[in-house]
Amino acid sequence: MFILLMLFSTTIDYICGLFISESIGEWGKPIKLLNKNSTRTKVQYRALLISIISNLSLLAFFKYFNFGIESYNGLMTGLGFDNYQYDSFFRVILPLGISFYTFQSMSYTIDIYRGNAKAIRNFIDFTCFVSMFPQLVAGPIIRFQEIANQLETRTHTIQKFTRGIAFFSLGLAKKILLANPCGKIADSCFNAVEVGFIDSWYGAIAYAFQIYFDFSGYTDMAIGIGLMLGFVFSKNFDSPYSSRSITDFWRKWHISLSTWLRDYLYIPLGGNKKGKHRTYINLMIVMLLGGLWHGASWNFVIWGIIHGVFLSIERMVGKESLYKKLPKNASILVTFIIVVFAWVFFRSDTLSSAINYLSSMLGFNTNVITDNVIDILIWNPYYLLCFIISAIVVWFFPQTWDFTKKITIPKAVYILTLFTVSVITLLTQSFNPFIYFIF
**What letters, b where the CB count within 10 A reaches 16 and e where it falls short, cover 114-128?**
bebbbbbbeeeebee
The answer to whether residues 13 and 109 touch, using CB atoms and an 8 Å cutoff, is yes
- DSSP result, 167-215: HHHHHHHIIIIIIHHHHHHHHHHHTSSS--HHHHHHHHHHHHHHHHHHH
Distance CA 277, CA 156 (A): 50
Angular region, 39: left φ>0, alpha ψ -120 to 50, beta rest: beta
Distance CA 235, CA 405 (A): 13
Distance from first CA to last CA of the chain, Å, rounded? Answer: 19
Distance CA 279, CA 269 (A): 9
Distance CA 360, CA 203 (A): 11
Distance CA 416, CA 228 (A): 17
- Whether the bond between 381 and the residue before it is cis, its omega within 30 degrees of 0, is no
Closest CA to 247 of 167, 331, 188, 186: 331
C-alpha torsion angle, residues 276, 304, 136, 23 (rounded to 10): -30
Residues annotated as catalytic are 294
Distance CA 103, CA 114 (A): 16
Identify the burial level of 194 via C-beta atoms within 10 angstroms of its C-beta, where 0-12 means exposed, 13-18 middle and 19 or more buried: middle
- Which residue pairs, CB below 8 angstroms and at least 24 apart, start in 45-52? 47/16, 47/17, 47/19, 47/20, 47/109, 48/16, 48/20, 48/109, 48/110, 48/113, 50/12, 50/16, 51/12, 51/13, 51/16, 51/17, 51/105, 51/106, 51/109, 52/106, 52/109, 52/110
The answer to whether residues 161 and 228 touch, using CB atoms and an 8 Å cutoff, is yes
